[in-house]
Amino acid sequence: MELPSWEDAKLGTMKRAALWLVSVVGEGNVFTKADLRDAFPGTSQIDRRMRDLRDHGWRLDTNREDARLDSHEQRFVTRGAAVWEPGMARVKSAPAISANRRREVISRDGNLCRCCGITPGEEYPDSYEKAQLDIARRTVAQPGGGTAIELVTECKRCRVGGRDLEVDGGKTLASLSRLGVMEKKILASWVAADQRDFGAVELLWAQYRTLPEESRLRFRAALDRATE
Ligand SMILES: [Zn+2]
């Protein structure tokens, strides 16, 4: 699809700035405040409109992010949403999670993936891949109705759904011999049904484990009250 012209005065300033970056500056290249003023003479708040692009996933580095740059320079690192397309300028990407907030969430989550329980650097049981933790935004239905976005720690594999999953059938088979007779019988019934019957407590435990921190605390308080 052909890009609209950045000089099209009918487009808003932010859209024109985005098109100017793509068609004049080019990804990876540096531009100066003077370049920007020359391209948009007399346009008030051009700097601010340019910064607004960051809310749409555009990465523009200043000398705060990239020490090689001068104070009057910026680098157009990567483009984000095609804001000039109909409807796109209204969709803002979620604000980035700060490094401090990430550390806080991971630490409160016990430094483990809340889905599978793996810790950073630990190998997955089915491969030699080492786990890396990440933060996910979980939509949590609230007790009073409505939903809220809560942050929760997940490993990269749980986030992407095991895309790089590699399995080891031999290892699985070898592990079978380590089970006792009772365990083997239970496993055989699950295998026959191709389904594991979770007890109510186990089911609740699994659900509790995947809750983000705010919801875990709420659950825990309710449990404490119920067991007093
Ligand atoms: Zn995981």
**pLDDT for res 165:** 52
| 203 Cα–ligand 1 center, Å | 18
CA distance 227 to 141: 25
60 and 112 fall within a common domain: no
Domain final residue, candidates 90, 122, 153: 90
Tell how far the Cα of 113 is from the centroid of ligand 1, in angstroms: 5
Give distance in angstroms: CA of 127 to centre of ligand 1: 13
Q: What's the 48 CA to ligand 1 centre distance in angstroms?
A: 40
124 plus 30 within the same structural domain: no
Instruction: Give the residue numbers spanning the domain of 68.
Output: 13-90
Residue 4, in any domain of the structure? no
Q: Tokens 């979620």 identify what position? A: 94
Q: Which tokens go with 121?
A: 């650097």
Classify residue 46 by burial, with Cβ atoms within 10 Å: 0-12, 13-18, 19+: buried
pTM of the model: 0.45
pLDDT at 5: 94
**Residue 31 maps to a domain:** yes
Q: Where are the alpha helices (DSSP H) in 23-95?
A: 33-39, 46-52
What pLDDT does 162 receive? 52
Domain for residue 164, yes or no? Answer: yes
pLDDT, position 62: 87
The confidence score (pLDDT) of residue 99 equals 87
Q: Has residue 208 been placed in a domain?
A: yes
Contact indicator for 213, 109 with CB cutoff of 8 Å? yes
Counting as low any pLDDT under 50, the low residues of the chain are 163-164
Q: What separation in Å is there between the alpha carbon of 92 and the centre of ligand 1?
A: 28
How confident is the model at residue 158, as a pLDDT? 83
**167 and 133 part of one domain:** yes
- Total domains in the chain come to 2
Kindly give the distance from the C-alpha atom of residue 158 to the centroid of ligand 1, in angstroms, as a whole number.
Answer: 4
3-state DSSP percent of the chain in helix, strand and coil, to 5: 40, 15, 45
Taking the alpha carbons of 40, 45, 51, 57 in that order, is the dihedral positive or negative? negative
Q: What DSSP string describes 10-27? A: TS-HHHHHHHHIIIII-T
Residue-wise pLDDT for 59-84, tens only, equals 898 888 788 899 999 999 888 888 99
Q: Report the 10 Å Cβ neighbour count for 212.
A: 22
What per-residue confidence (pLDDT) applies to 123? 86
What tens digit of pLDDT does each residue of 167-194 get? 667 777 888 999 999 999 988 988 888 7
Angstrom distance (rounded) from CA 121 to CA 23: 42
Q: Residue 87: what pLDDT?
A: 78
Distance of CA 84 to the CA centre of its chain: 25
Does 8 reside within a domain?
A: no
pLDDT at 181: 94
Pick the closest to residue 207 from 152, 137, 132, 145 (CA basis).
Answer: 152
pLDDT score at 57: 80
Is residue 210 helix, strand or coil? coil
